[in-house]
Structure 1
Amino acid sequence: MTRTAPDYSALLQDLTGVMPVSRLITDPLRRLAYGTDASFYRLVPQVVAEVRDEAEVKGVLAACRRHGAPVTFRAAGTSLSGQAVSDSVLMILGTGWTQAVVEDEGKRIRLQPGVIGAEANRRLAAFARKIGPDPASIDSCKIGGIAANNASGMCCGTSDNSYQTVMSMRLVLADGTLVDTGNPESVAAFRASHAELLSRLDDMGRRVRDDETLAGRIRHKFAIKNTTGYSLNALVDFTDPLDILTHLMIGSEGTLGFIAEITYRTVPEHAHKASALLLFPDIAEACRAVVALKQAPVSAVELMDRASLRCVEDKPGMPAQIRGLADGVTSLLVEARGETAEALAANLAEIGRVLSGVTTLFPPAFTDDPYEYGTLWKIRKGLFPALGAVRKVGTTVIIEDVAFPIESLAAATTDLEHLCRKHGYDEAIIFGHALDGNLHFTFTQDFGIKEEVDRYARFMDEVAELVVNKYDGSLKAEHGTGRNMAPFVEMEWGTEATALMWDIKGLLDPLGLLNPGVLLDKDPRAHLNNLKPLPAADSLVDTCIECGFCERMCPSHGLTLSPRQRITSWREISRRTAANENSDELRRLYDYQGIDTCAACGLCATACPVGIETGRLTKSLRGRRLGSGAHAVGQWASRHYGAAMAATRFGLGAAALVSRLAGPSAMAAMASGLRTLSGGRTPKLGEHLPTAADFAPPANAPSGERVVYFPTCAARTMGPASGDPEKDSLPTVMTRVLARAGFGVVIPDGVENLCCGQAFESKGLQATADAKAAELEAALFKASDHGRLPIVMDASACAWRMKTYLGERLKVVDSVEFLHDAALPRLSPTPQDAPVLVHVNCGARKQGLDDKMVGLAKACAKTAIVPEAVGCCGFAGDKGFTNPELNDHALRHLAPQVPQGCEAGYSSNRTCEIGLADHADVPYRSIVYLLDRTTR
């Protein structure tokens, strides 16, 4: 369809009547950043509209209709086929789309589209239930995308996906109509207002059901996994046109309407499970086993070819049996589950009986040990990132998914391997959900060279020929049609069925404005357009595959940029610089959005498939941005560190004096006024600003079991807040608790001048930071009797920094870890009645101390609450003073979760505790204070 280009200036003006200008994104940096999803396509939107409720969705759609502007809906942007990008209007989910309501004792759950899939399962865990779809990206993808793509996964097959488990939905159609298919009044109104639409759907369904050939073809196509084109099975599975409409929305990829809420029928989540890695001499024998296991009580069977195993066999923690295998060896990772231990045992016995009829290289050995089967599943989950991490800079990783009838799986896998080699994709690996005949094949591709694009085009043509004409399979099994298979829909489905899909599109989106180019496209080369470049940017981030898994961890996501968006933007700036193109405006915008508002907390690396810590790039760029004068100041501060800390204590003391005389609120108001007058140049000082710490190195008391205690800079400088009932400094309380537990504390000599370097590193002064860390290492080495004694640090960020810097040279222990493991067993806390809040900060999370922090709190308080949707606090050392908007955004969900009568919040980083206290309006302290209070 040829369109007249919309007047986006007029559209933008129109949109200002729908929503605040602050949520209409038009600057070139963020438009570029939002023009990226997990696929290998890029389109840069003209406008990004961050909608927060159904009224705004309807308003944006109305404005787009008036101006003839296409619009694309986006949830998490983890889709792999280009469904979530647009060169027109991109509608993204803002806050307010995260409601999850569990009903009927967990048998049903009502979800808004912004809920992350894993969060829905957390809500259902208490009922031993889960949602049916289980995509590999469930920790990051959102319900809107899961439903719109009919995403499945390793266990749900074709029986528990969104199509099979949807009960009702609230949806907004292209004409702006809102209908709730689970609400009788809404349904009645819709049947009256849209009688013609429903009549035409009814007629479509009748015609298809009356055509035995076409109906049979549809049933055959959906007997295996299939997300190619629309869910035509809705026309044969249902007779009520409203049910047809509901199920057509599943897998429609935002081309038919907006899913504002979906109610799922949930499925059991069995507590008992066991897994085994089975090795077969060749693909044929492995597939014989798959056919046999199809009738066995298994919950998942994952096939991995020899190339798959080879790409992970040398990774840490991989089992020895996958190394050095002969070519052709194929593995099956099998999982069984049971409602009880006895049921699991019975299932394993039946599986063993089935496997006795096939040949394995080693006897099947199932394990129900969580660590052991977790290790086995790391093999499967590590395949995609393993290939992504070793690809050539400038190339992208493509993961395609197809499905074959299970009886053809062996031959189809062999043919697919042959095609990969024929076209020079020698690095390609093949793996997938074998029970469903669903294979993923992953390979690397350079889209910056025309010859390489042509090679890809020839390859995909032959893949389509193989899947469709030789095996009558699905070109898309679970990743959605998207842009890359839209031109092949007619090849798979035939003229009649494809014409039916175009009729559905025309009926529900007559203007063709909803996500054009996705799912259906008459241009046979559309899948070769708008390919995303991945130019070299920095060795710290060049392995990024732009999947978006990092975004849920980032405190600035939704305020400025996420880690993925920072990398995307820096790649474009680097590309322009290398090509001598002007990048001044992007660099100017990146200074604030990319650098200044990055917490550099490192949590993104914990969710990244290839382990990228985007904060390292940010700190490197901060260092490059600093002039020689700033580096000189950093070196001076390092050499005179004790004096710098004394000056900080003096400043805190002065602020505390004002707070005592005028009151904390008045002091904070004065600081706020001064910050406004200075244009943001002075720091934000809140009501919970610390007093000056009363620090004096305690005398060593080596009478007990000796342990080195290093009081960190913040602990030596910042005392409790003015209004906090606790008055002792952290070093005083820590020393007291350790002594109570029978430990003799050793303090390093010259502690006043020592620092781990964290403060310098966060500013980009890496050389100065490492020099301070080396200085601290020497002092700790001496204090610990050449490394014989454990070294306890009272700030988790500093403990993580020194653990990373030292490696195995010295035994550094986080205070949370030491208090939980060593001190708590020697003490007898009396749990207090008053509830407490617990914040597991970034340093503690990166060390895996979540359970120990919460365990300490629960040992000392009858009610310990970890607030939901509160990750990194965004205070980021001193960002809470200089860029308080980051702290405000990160903790926007905290205040409503403070329980009545809450005594305080507890964590293990003094600076984090400042921002947390300001937003919760209760004191926050180190967790050691709670242990001290309850063991006196």
Structure 2
Amino acid sequence: MDMPSEHDLADTPTNRDDAYQQLEQMLLQSFEPEQVLSGETETLAFGTDASFYRLIPKLVVKLRSLAQLKWVMACCRDLSLPFTFRAAGTSLSGQAISDSVLLLLSDDWTGHQILEEGQAIRLQPGVIGADANRYLAPYQKKIGPDPASIAACKIGGIVANNASGMCCGTAQNSYNTLKSMHLVLADGSELDTADPLSVQRFRFSHARFLHRLKQLAEQTVANSELKSLIQHKYRLKNTTGYSLNALIDYQDPIDILTHLMVGSEGTLGFIASVTYQTVDEHPHKASCLLVFDNNQQACEAVKTLAAKPVSAVELMDGRALASVADQPGMPDFIQHLDKQACALLVEARSSSASGLTQRCNALIKSLEPHPRRNEVAFTPLEQEYSRLWAIRKGLFPAVGAVRATGTTVVIEDVAFPIEHLAEGVEALQQLFVEHGYQEALIFGHALAGNLHFVFTQSFDTPEEVARYDGFMQAVSQLVAVDYKGSLKAEHGTGRNMAPFVELEWGEQGVALMQQIKQLFDPQGLLNPGVILNPDSQAHIRNLKLMPAADSLVDKCIECGFCEAVCPSRKLSLTPRQRIVIYREIAALRRSQDQPERLARMEKDFKYQGIDTCAAVGLCADRCPVGINTGDLVRKLRAEAQQGGRGETIARWSAKHFAGLASGGRVGLQLMDFTQQLLGEKVMGKLTHGAGKLTKQPALQQWSPAFPKAAASFKPKRVFHPDKVVYFPSCASRTMGPPADALDQRSLQEATCSVLEKAGFEVIVPEGIGGSCCGLPYHSKGFAEQSEAKSKQLEAQLWQASEQGRWPVLMDTSPCAKRSQEQFTQDMAIYEPVGFIYQHALPRLEILPLQQPIMLHLTCSSRRMGVEQAFMGLAKACAPEAVLPEQIYCCGWAGDKGFSHPELNASALERLREQVPEGCSRGYSNSRTCEIGLMKHSGIPYQSIVYLVDEVSL
């Protein structure tokens, strides 16, 4: 049967519009307002995924529980409204977008349970793949799938797309490592295959359904031609269409049902949780890089390696190698390779170091008949093999970085039978030439015959769309017909390959898929247009344009890798979404034909895009092309304040910084005195009222977490041969501990105590009362004042350090990070954790604290790469140290905790529940962050310097 497309479902727009309005009213009566989005800004932002397609949903619903999901599904069934499930939205083929109702999984879907001593793990669909592996790391286990997007994609998408990856192959994908599944079908029924009672009830309630499923399986097994085709297809990596192998691999219809759900892309039901049989994560691994004269030689070597115990073999063609040849850390010979060269990146793993050495030696010996042009020998050193993998991981960013503005990066993936891999590579390269994709390159998982090819494409003219269509038609014929391969090996069918499913599977295969879809979803409401689509032009409809907006963000491909670490992701917009909306605003400004829509979107963007962006730059570390959306936000803040009152205040404060800091201390002293006099309850009401009256948000946010004024402190100069220049930040010079803190000394006093115990002479520069790293100005977009303060501080520290002879310690991590980035003189700049762990801890005698502590790793610490040092230092001082999950930034963001406290509250929403019983203290390395951490955890937070001083002799 023909499946309905989005256009078929919109034949009665008046009735459909009424149905959407009715659904929205029903939702608003039952859900919190922030869970139901229908505004044009929000639906555009949240409707975007990583593909090059664009559909804008009528409604976006953020679901917090399975009960809510089932209720919304029931409403959609009653109103005949289509709906689509969305996890992280990193899908590449258009399977996570909708022009109807988009159901988003909130952070409430992150439950996990380790089973059987790590042999299995039960995961809700909102768990990020990398987090699942982090939970399993103590057991030396991991989940089987390892997609390149594992740090951003979620379990729901991994299972629904049957995602695999570099080491996964087919043996360890979701289909083959599935242990049990909890699912919801289109009719609202639940099945948890880990629960015998649930299975028993389902067998009774859905006897006809299961009987029909068993019939389809028996008919498929009996059809020798179709069975043979299925066996051939799943000898390869294959995610084109439904997982028809379930019908020949299993006899129990319950098993058939759950395995059909794998790779079904949300078109058959909802996956509420999945239990994986885990796989080994061998602690010892090594990698080598082998370069051959041409594709044929490389692929012959792949055939040899396929029969050996090797974990990964990544193929990179000559164009791929050329694209990263000038990147730092690349082997010198790569710059001299021609376009005919082809490389293999090989990884071996073992449970022991000796076993790894034996395995590597055996692999190299097996390759003796295959001459290489160049090579980097197997290395077990992490620093060295990480450089080799940087070649492979840098290929996608390399294309993204050079693409023309207005184009997008298209990533396709196919699979050839491994015996035809070389011919497949050559044929694809020829198609690139024929269709004018000169920048296209090929890389992939060679052991599975799985090739990714990446190229840039514009969709803004009919000619460009026709070029893409012609290319895809040719690729489909080449892969599916000429070489009997897979058109989608691991990225999912989506909308992109839906028109070509029959080309690959034939009439019988598609007819079987249509029967499956009709059985599971008789109303055709689940993600219509995906996998099965009668529109032969679906792959070139609803194409996403990428208009120029600003050079700072024009390279964004909207992949969504940035979203998991964004502190505003639950409050307003993520970096991807900010860029999407700003692109739309830029296009509307150029066109000038929708002034009212432009005004509405600009108003929305002021709060959602600019005011609530923490601008801390974590997004840049996750972005494949290094975009820091905070740079755009700071630029927009500067433009908005240019010539205004804010700029005037910034200039004045920069010139009178010492007096401003002194006034801040006086204000904190007054607030502390008033609180002691009136009590916390009265103080809270008083400051809240005063804040409203004076329109000062900071006053409204007073709480017991607010700091007292910092006590003045001047360290004694005690001679030691080793010296360190200590710069107390303006925050620590102004803010002392809160009233409930365990240690009431100033941070300056605690820091000097630790340094003196470790045998360092402490040098505090003269005249630092008016000094600042410039970060407060930088975050607000005042570049001139920020640079001036930074240069002033650099000159002071350069002199105090005797022209870089002595290291410089800054007692808060954001100041250190900013100074590292801005200083031009050769000085070693440290924040507390890095300096103490590397230089002071070896000199100290530690008596560890025998109680649990909470930790907060600031965003600047993450960006400086001191996470390992932070955990090492904390566990040296208190063996039970807890770093909470899903909190990458506290959202205080300089002074956002004062002006927009909802950002801080949202970022730390899950903090209090993670404080272990018996824990009464927390530690960080940023004074301002500690205010919000204490407020939202219920325990006092101080600099980790205090802990080190307490436990050291």
TM-score (norm 1): 0.98
Aligned to 2:628: 613
Contact 1:695 1:717 (C-alpha < 8 Å) held by counterparts: no
Which residue among 165, 169, 181 is the counterpart of 1:157?
169
Q: Does 1:349 align with 2:361?
A: yes
Which residue among 41, 65, 76 is the counterpart of 2:88?
76
Give me the identity figure in percent. Answer: 51
Q: Tell me the distance in 2 between the aligned counterparts of 1:627 and 1:519.
A: 51
Q: Does 1:118 align with 2:130?
A: yes
Which residue among 612, 619, 622 is the counterpart of 1:597?
612
SS class of match (2:451): strand
Aligned to 2:38: 26
Q: Tell me the distance in 2 between the aligned counterparts of 1:881 and 1:650.
A: 18
5 Å-filtered alignment, 1:562-581, equals 562-580=574-592, 581=594
Aligned to 1:919: 936
SS class of match (2:577): helix
Q: Does 1:431 align with 2:448?
A: no
Contact 2:145 2:172 (C-alpha < 8 Å) held by counterparts: yes
Q: CA offsets per residue over residues 720-751 of structure 1, 9 Å max, x none?
A: 10122312111122122222222222222210
Which amino acid is 1:851 matched to?
Answer: Q
5 Å-filtered alignment, 1:375-454, equals 375-454=387-466
SS class of match (1:788): coil
Q: CA offsets per residue over residues 390-437 of structure 1, 9 Å max, x none?
A: 111111000000000000000110000000111110000000000100
Compared with structure 1, are the counterparts of its residues 105 and 418 closer, same or farther at alpha carbon in structure 2 (3 Å cutoff)?
Answer: same
Q: Tell me the distance in 1 between the aligned counterparts of 2:332 and 2:64.
A: 51
Q: Does 1:289 align with 2:301?
A: yes
The alpha carbon displacement at 1:327 in A equals 2.7
5 Å-filtered alignment, 1:474-489, equals 474-489=486-501
Aligned to 2:637: 622
SS class of match (1:625): helix
5 Å-filtered alignment, 1:306-705, equals 306-362=318-374, 365-580=377-592, 581-582=594-595, 583-628=598-643, 629-672=645-688, 674-675=690-691, 681=697, 682-698=699-715, 700-701=717-718, 703-705=720-722
Q: CA offsets per residue over residues 208-260 of structure 1, 9 Å max, x none?
A: 11111111111111110010001111111111111111111000000010000
Q: CA offsets per residue over residues 498-522 of structure 1, 9 Å max, x none?
A: 0111111111111111111111111
Q: CA offsets per residue over residues 119-152 of structure 1, 9 Å max, x none?
A: 1111111111111111111111000000000000
Moved more, 892-901 or 80-89: 892-901
Q: Tell me the distance in 2 between the aligned counterparts of 1:705 and 1:353.
A: 53
Which amino acid is 1:724 matched to?
Answer: A
Q: CA offsets per residue over residues 784-818 of structure 1, 9 Å max, x none?
A: 22222221111100000010001553322222211
Q: Does 1:930 align with 2:947?
A: yes
Contact 2:124 2:274 (C-alpha < 8 Å) held by counterparts: yes
Contact 2:317 2:339 (C-alpha < 8 Å) held by counterparts: no
SS class of match (2:409): strand
Q: Tell me the distance in 2 between the aligned counterparts of 1:243 and 1:719.
A: 62
The alpha carbon displacement at 1:686 in A equals 1.7
Which amino acid is 2:625 matched to?
Answer: V
The alpha carbon displacement at 1:623 in A equals 1.0
5 Å-filtered alignment, 1:258-297, equals 258-297=270-309
Which amino acid is 2:652 matched to?
Answer: W
Which residue among 793, 804, 829 is the counterpart of 1:812?
829
The alpha carbon displacement at 1:526 in A equals 0.7
5 Å-filtered alignment, 1:56-67, equals 56-67=68-79
Which amino acid is 2:616 matched to?
Answer: C
Q: Tell me the distance in 2 between the aligned counterparts of 1:257 and 1:727.
A: 57
Aligned to 2:153: 141
Which amino acid is 1:798 matched to?
Answer: C
Which residue among 740, 747, 761 is the counterpart of 2:778?
761
Which residue among 819, 844, 869 is the counterpart of 1:827?
844
Which amino acid is 2:684 matched to?
Answer: A
Q: Tell me the distance in 1 between the aligned counterparts of 2:361 and 2:189.
A: 54
Q: Tell me the distance in 2 between the aligned counterparts of 1:516 and 1:683.
A: 49
Compared with structure 1, are the counterparts of its residues 620 and 364 closer, same or farther at alpha carbon in structure 2 (3 Å cutoff)?
Answer: closer
Compared with structure 1, are the counterparts of its residues 249 and 678 closer, same or farther at alpha carbon in structure 2 (3 Å cutoff)?
Answer: farther
SS class of match (2:726): strand
Which residue among 48, 51, 56 is the counterpart of 1:36?
48
SS class of match (1:366): strand
SS class of match (2:179): strand
RMSD across aligned positions (CA): 1.5
Contact 1:700 1:747 (C-alpha < 8 Å) held by counterparts: no
Q: Tell me the distance in 1 between the aligned counterparts of 2:262 and 2:686.
A: 55
The alpha carbon displacement at 1:470 in A equals 0.9
Q: Tell me the distance in 1 between the aligned counterparts of 2:565 and 2:324.
A: 26
The alpha carbon displacement at 1:601 in A equals 1.2
Structure 2: gaps of 5 or more residues? none
Aligned to 2:787: 770
Contact 2:322 2:339 (C-alpha < 8 Å) held by counterparts: no
The alpha carbon displacement at 1:706 in A equals 2.4
Which amino acid is 1:639 matched to?
Answer: K
Q: Tell me the distance in 1 between the aligned counterparts of 2:758 and 2:273.
A: 53
SS class of match (1:400): strand
Compared with structure 1, are the counterparts of its residues 777 and 58 closer, same or farther at alpha carbon in structure 2 (3 Å cutoff)?
Answer: same
Compared with structure 1, are the counterparts of its residues 203 and 901 closer, same or farther at alpha carbon in structure 2 (3 Å cutoff)?
Answer: closer
SS class of match (1:189): helix
Q: Tell me the distance in 2 between the aligned counterparts of 1:818 and 1:787.
A: 16
Contact 2:560 2:576 (C-alpha < 8 Å) held by counterparts: yes
The alpha carbon displacement at 1:110 in A equals 0.8
The alpha carbon displacement at 1:101 in A equals 0.7
Contact 1:660 1:722 (C-alpha < 8 Å) held by counterparts: no
SS class of match (2:156): helix
The alpha carbon displacement at 1:674 in A equals 4.8
Contact 1:664 1:688 (C-alpha < 8 Å) held by counterparts: no
Q: Tell me the distance in 2 between the aligned counterparts of 1:111 and 1:679.
A: 46
The alpha carbon displacement at 1:364 in A equals 6.3
Compared with structure 1, are the counterparts of its residues 760 and 364 closer, same or farther at alpha carbon in structure 2 (3 Å cutoff)?
Answer: closer
Which amino acid is 1:827 matched to?
Answer: L
Aligned to 1:839: 856
The alpha carbon displacement at 1:439 in A equals 0.3
5 Å-filtered alignment, 1:83-232, equals 83-232=95-244
Q: CA offsets per residue over residues 63-101 of structure 1, 9 Å max, x none?
A: 111222110100000001011111110000013211111
SS class of match (1:478): coil
Q: Tell me the distance in 1 between the aligned counterparts of 2:919 and 2:693.
A: 36
Q: Tell me the distance in 1 between the aligned counterparts of 2:354 and 2:759.
A: 46
Q: Does 1:49 align with 2:61?
A: yes
Which amino acid is 2:134 matched to?
Answer: R
Which amino acid is 1:650 matched to?
Answer: V
Q: Tell me the distance in 2 between the aligned counterparts of 1:466 and 1:332.
A: 24
Contact 1:549 1:608 (C-alpha < 8 Å) held by counterparts: yes
Contact 1:18 1:56 (C-alpha < 8 Å) held by counterparts: no
Which amino acid is 1:343 matched to?
Answer: G
Q: Tell me the distance in 1 between the aligned counterparts of 2:365 and 2:211.
A: 53
Contact 1:468 1:492 (C-alpha < 8 Å) held by counterparts: yes
Which residue among 765, 768, 773 is the counterpart of 1:751?
768
Moved more, 247-256 or 804-813: 804-813
Q: CA offsets per residue over residues 560-598 of structure 1, 9 Å max, x none?
A: 111111111111111111111321111101111111111
Moved more, 80-89 or 728-737: 728-737
Structure 1: gaps of 5 or more residues? none
